[in-house]
Amino acid sequence: MDTDFRQILCDSSKKVAEIAASIVLDDPGRIKQVTEIMLADEYPYSHRAARVLEICSIQFPELFDKEQNTIIPALQKVKAEGVIRGVLKIVADCPVNLSKRNTGILLGLCFDWLNDASRPVAIRVHSMQFLYNISVHEKDIRDELVSILEEGYADGTAGFRSRSDKILKKLRAIGTGPENPERSNLSGME
């Protein structure tokens, strides 16, 4: 029996998102349907589908891994901030295994979003976290990240400044010297 996720996602409650996620987790092949709805960029279904993907990815990051070649390139055209926020939360906080190509796409997007003060703080904070996670392994981006965080600090929201403080402290601790394997937590803040 085919599940009509659009019908399920007619409500924005957390409980409905959890029910939809449990359907996907019972049959992981259904993640494609959720991804299609999310990337259709149709409010409110896209936002709600992103929430389902997030719930699924927290429990089984491999589900996101299977869809990353569809999701990440599409982010370049997605307008729905709820979708962007949801995907960024996944890549910033879940132990997903991104391809080099998709990591490169996200690096560019996250630097753009972090620099854009008109973006919602959640998008900027998740971009910041993703960039930090990558900087642990790619020291070449550390200086640029520090510069952006310091420049945006004065005009940043409380949420921006709070996360910026944590990340700047960690960046200063790892410095620009040899990489410290104890600090290579790609799944998010310690």
pTM for the full predicted model: 0.86
Q: Are residues 75 and 111 in the same domain?
A: no
Are 50 and 90 in contact by the 8 Å Cβ rule? The answer is no
177: helix, coil or strand?
coil
Which of the four pLDDT bands, split at 50, 70 and 90, describes residue 7? confident
Q: What is the pLDDT of residues 122-158, one digit of tens each?
A: 999 999 999 999 999 888 899 999 999 999 988 889 9
Among 49, 73, 97, where does a domain finish? 97
**Are 83 and 112 within one domain?**
no
Two structure tokens written together for 137:
């392994």
* Per-residue pLDDT reduced to its tens digit, 91-114: 999 999 999 999 999 999 999 999
Q: How many domains does the chain have?
A: 2
Residues 71, 4 share a domain: yes
Considering the domain architecture, whether residues 85 and 115 belong to the same structural domain is answered as: no
> How far is CA 58 from its chain centroid?
11
Domain finish residue from 62, 97, 132? 97
The residue segments making up the domain with residue 15 are: 1-97
Last residue of a domain, one of 66, 97, 128: 97
Same domain, 73 and 23: yes
**Gyration radius (Cα) of the chain, Å:** 17
Residues 84 and 111 in one domain: no
